[in-house]
Amino acid sequence: MKIMLGDMDATQEAILDRALVACYKAKGITPDPATQNNEPPLLEDLYKAFIGMEEPQAANLAARLEKFVKGSFRGLFDQRTNVDIKNEFVVFGIKNLEDALRPIAMFMILDFIWTRVKSSLKRRLLVVDEAWYLMKNRDSAAFLYSIAKRARKYYLGLTTITQDVEDFLNSDYGKAIITNSSLQVLMKQSAAAVDKLGEVFYLSEGEKQLLLSAEVGEGLFFAGQNHVAIKVLASEDEHKLITSKPQELLEMKAQNTLKTPSAGGSDSEYSECSEALVHAITHQSTVNNPASNF
């Protein structure tokens, strides 16, 4: 809620707390575990709770929340889910969300995953790509830091990936996540970021120059106090899966179209399969963008 509502003073936080308690109480949900499966309130219920309060600060919070309930962002966070989250494979697509909504969605998804992780002890790996979005807000940054500190207790490995290392370095939580990581990888960096990285990672002048002039796939690998230069080479099949270069995608599409259909398959069937493959490649997320990840 704090990510949606923005910065709040102590009075506003108290009003939010009272409104949330009232919303859940109206649905019959209390600290009693027997009530936890009751139908939960919606965002609109919280909005109405703010409206019903007499404090001017409550009206201010209602105004901040209005765009998510009645304004341009309505329909996304103020409805009951229609996703079967019990499936073995669940995809939350946030690619087409506006920038203002993406940090909220990422926080909600991360919270859902963390809840699932804590529910049963098994070996898992959580990969957070574009993690800089979570660094833009203090509360979401604190949440990611909390996961980083507690992950080992739940047999969870955590990998954070970002193209904007400065967003991590400008956040106390981000710095702590970096310095507490057992392994780090730095790829090509901008001149603006390399000096800050030099202070955090104790880089030599030669290592700074390496990061400034690194080609695709080149960088530094850190394990504890040791670090070494690396060059990552993808296999041909891996490259086809992760490339996002338009020219290469078009070339693969042309090659697939020209291939001879397999026995029993018509030209139209093969063409449809080729189109589907190119569509999947075009819309998949590139986990390791070598521009400036760490």
The pLDDT tens digits of the residues spanning 182-227 come to 899 999 998 888 988 888 888 999 999 999 999 989 999 999 888 8
46-55, 194-203, 261-270: which is most confident: 46-55
Q: How confident is the model at residue 280 (pLDDT cuts 50, 70, 90)?
A: very low
Fold match between domain 1-80 and domain 84-181:
no
CATH number of 84-181: 3.40.50.300
pLDDT at 282 over 80: no
CATH number of 1-80: 1.10.8.730
Q: How confident is the model at residue 14 (pLDDT cuts 50, 70, 90)?
A: very high
| Rounded percentage of the chain residues whose pLDDT exceeds 90 | 44
What are the CA-CA distances from residue 208 to residues 105, 197, 246 (Å)? 35, 8, 31
pLDDT at 87 over 60: yes
| Domain boundaries, given as residue ranges, for the chain | 1-80, 84-181, 182-247
Span 131-153, mean pLDDT?
91
Q: How many CB atoms lie within 10 A of CB 129?
A: 18
pTM above 0.85, yes or no: no
